Amino acid sequence: MSHARLEFGASAPGKVNLHLGVGDVRADGYHDLATVFQAVDLRETVRLLVDPDAGTVADGSVVTQMSTFFAVSEPGEDIDTRRNLAWRAVDAVVEEYRRRFPKNAGGSVELPPVKIVVEKKIFVAGGMAGGSADAAAALVAANEYLGEWGRGPLDDETLVRLAKTLGADVPFCLTGGTALGTGRGDDLVEMMSRGEYSWVFINPNVALPTGQAFARLDDMRHNDPALVPRMDTTHLAQALVTGDPRRVAGQLHNDLQPAAVAMRPQLKRLLEVAGGYGLKAIVSGSGPTVALLCRDYLHAANTCNEILDNHHEYEAVVAFGPTEGARPL
């Protein structure tokens, strides 16, 4: 059988949490969440490059190499390893394929090796699900690869199931749009949203590990009874159907923000600076990225330029939402 196609690509969006309510710790160690995701058009791109002359891989990973190219600041460590979510996503798709078509039943087709190439536009470890977007894009790209070199692609339901095994934000990056996430944040219900929302995302270039932010919030709640979980998203849902950025701005909320500011006090100043330019600034997810909602795209573009001109210590980019989820290139 001859195969002409040697490259398979997909892109997936980053996210901003319009609302992030953090409840109690669950038995599995995660917190109960009530969050409203909006996908934004900062998209990660993942490509699988097939080497047709390298034979086939009967067992184990089909990935032989990974390379990441950054349009944003690079991390201080090598991320092109088997632990990378994009690599793990490709492995998950191939493992599922092999389970469905086991060799001993004469069903599977051995697959050729691939190299993964990732183009990153989302701040690394910034609270915008950049790694999860890589995973979502890799799921779609690997499924396209199966469609050409295997016995056909997996169904969408299976991809969502695999996404949940990779991380709590991966299912949303796969589906995109605007959605309410409960449980770990991966039980998704699509939400109605009118209009387009323009953002400036500002990276203060400080590290803020997600797990530490949740732990700090737990500690702070023991001493501050005012830091109660805010799990009700009703008013935000009502604002979203109006399509009015000002009304949506009034409902933006993040339970993790006090913990993020306590851990990285410079975020307080950044929130004040950003808030002076737009409708409202909040910490995005677990941070440290700050998301600034603006009136419209022109306002966002002008604001981004001003921030970059006046605050050289920050990175800043413009994006709009909502946008679609992971899709083939």
Torsions phi, psi for 208 (to 5 deg): -150, 90
Q: Residue 260 and residue 216: Cα distance in Å, rounded?
A: 8
Nearest one of 256, 260, 259 to 206, comparing CA atoms: 260
Which residue has 């004469």 as its token pair? 106
Q: Residue 25 and residue 214: Cα distance in Å, rounded?
A: 10
Torsions phi, psi for 159 (to 5 deg): -60, -40
Contact 175, 37 (CB under 8 A): no
Contact 195, 249 (CB under 8 A): no
Secondary structure (DSSP) of 229-294: -----HHHHHHHTTT-HHHHHTT-EETTHHHHHHH-THHHHHHHHHHTTSSEEEE-TTSS-EEEEE
Residue 145 corresponds to which tokens in the numbers above? 């690869």
Which residue has 């009967």 as its token pair? 58
Indicate which residues carry an active-site annotation: 15, 169
Q: Residue 30 and residue 11: Cα distance in Å, rounded?
A: 28
Nearest one of 75, 25, 44, 40 to 284, comparing CA atoms: 40
Side by side, which strands form the sheet with 290-294?
Answer: 280-283, 290-294, 197-203, 315-321
**Virtual CA dihedral for 295, 182, 137, 143, nearest 10 degrees?**
-140
Contact 317, 12 (CB under 8 A): no
